[in-house]
Amino acid sequence: MKTKGLLLVMFAMVVSVSASGQLNEYKYIIVPKKFEAFRANNQFQTSTLLKYYFTENGFNAVYDDALPEDLANNRCLGLTADILDNPTMFVTRLHIVLKDCKNTEVIRSIEGRSKVKDYADAYKEAIQEAFITFAGLDYHYEPKSAEKEAKDEPVTISFKDDVKSIKKKPDSLVVEQKATPDEQLYKSVEPVPSNIVKAEEKKDMSPTWHESLLYAQPVENGYQLVDSTPKVVLRLAETSMDNIFLTKYQGNSAMVFKKGEQWFLEYSENGEKHQIELQIKF
């Protein structure tokens, strides 16, 4: 199991490094309300989970029936998420795939697995494991040079006989408002409410990050520790000594080291030293 976990994290790192720069070209992640692999909308909360995890990892995720104006006019600004479901009799198995506007696969996650019998819990666990691929990506949208030039082009707007030239603002939106009684109504098409809440809302309901298993992903000059959310919680800098790393905790210098078979995070607070036990899988 230890070897499998190490291979899983190393493969996720290779996939992430090779695709991180390429993903910066895309402004949005489009999450379908219904995936081809499932019979119903948001079955097992798959759409809710994907949108939540992409948003938590710094991506601008939107549902396919609620596209921003610029994305609706140019689908190539976004990547469409898909779930490739390949279950066996006793194991839920899946990959998360992102495709461009030409339906070309840009990135495929590692395989997420779960042996949990309940389908909703199994898909949640498998999606969390697959999301290790996207956790810790240094994603930031970088418009292509052609897009930047187009945004700066002047546009002429006519107000009867008065013609003025203005500059487009990159994120400006045009909203047409109507006030007829029929158009005051709307129908919500959001997925079934999720039992997922933000971390600060559930801090008293579930273990903190240092009480859960952390995966060590190799990065330049050290490692990054990823929890099951998945989210990067600590970055470890190598030292000249084995099993001793430097890090930052609550804004202060700290150290992660191994004593016997147990890992510890040591930090100072108000002049006193504190230690926290960690569960780390390399």
Amino acid residing at 150? A
Using DSSP bridges, classify how beta strands 272-281 and 213-219 pair: parallel, antiparallel or unpaired.
Answer: parallel
Q: Is residue 142 part of a domain?
A: no
Please report whether residue 264 resides in a domain. yes
Same domain, 217 and 121: no
Look at residue 138 and tell me if it is in a domain: no
The residue with greater pLDDT, 201 or 24, is 24
In-domain check, residue 175: no
Q: Which residues contact 172 (CB under 8 A, 6 or more apart)?
A: none
- Number of residues that make up the chain: 282
DSSP state of 208: -
Look at residues 75, 106, 133 and tell me which one is the last residue of a structural domain.
Answer: 133
Residues 126 and 229 in one domain: no
Domain containing residue 57: 12-133
Domain boundary among 117, 133, 149: 133
Q: 273 lies in a domain?
A: yes
CB 236 within 8 A of CB 249: no
- Asked if residue 253 has pLDDT above 90, the reply is no
Band of pLDDT at residue 21, cut at 50, 70 and 90:
low
CATH value at residue 82? 3.30.160
**In total, how many domains does the chain have?**
2
Same domain, 16 and 115: yes
If asked whether residues 129 and 219 sit together in one domain, one would say no
Measure the CA–CA gap between 79 and 100, rounded to whole angstroms: 5
Measured distance CA(108)–CA(105) in Å, rounded: 7
Shared domain for 217 and 122, answered yes or no, is no
Residue 186 inside a domain? The answer is no
Instruction: Encode pLDDT of 108-130 as tens digits.
Output: 999 999 999 999 999 999 999 99
Task: Residue 51: name the closest of 187, 193, 188 by CA.
Answer: 193
Contact 12/133 with Cβ under 8 angstroms? yes
The two structure tokens encoding residue 109: 């996650």
Task: Verify that 122 and 227 share a domain, yes or no.
Answer: no
Q: Which two tokens stand for residue 241?
A: 């000594």
pLDDT in tens, 169-224: 455 444 444 545 455 444 444 555 555 544 444 444 445 777 788 888 888 888 88
Residue 129 lies in a domain: yes
Last residue of a domain, one of 77, 104, 133: 133
Residue 240 lies in a domain: yes
- Cα 204 vs. chain centroid, distance in angstroms? 24
pTM of the model: 0.53
pLDDT at 273 over 70: yes
- Residue 279: name the closest of 259, 257, 261, 263 by CA: 263
Dig out the tokens for 105 from the structure.
Answer: 């696969």
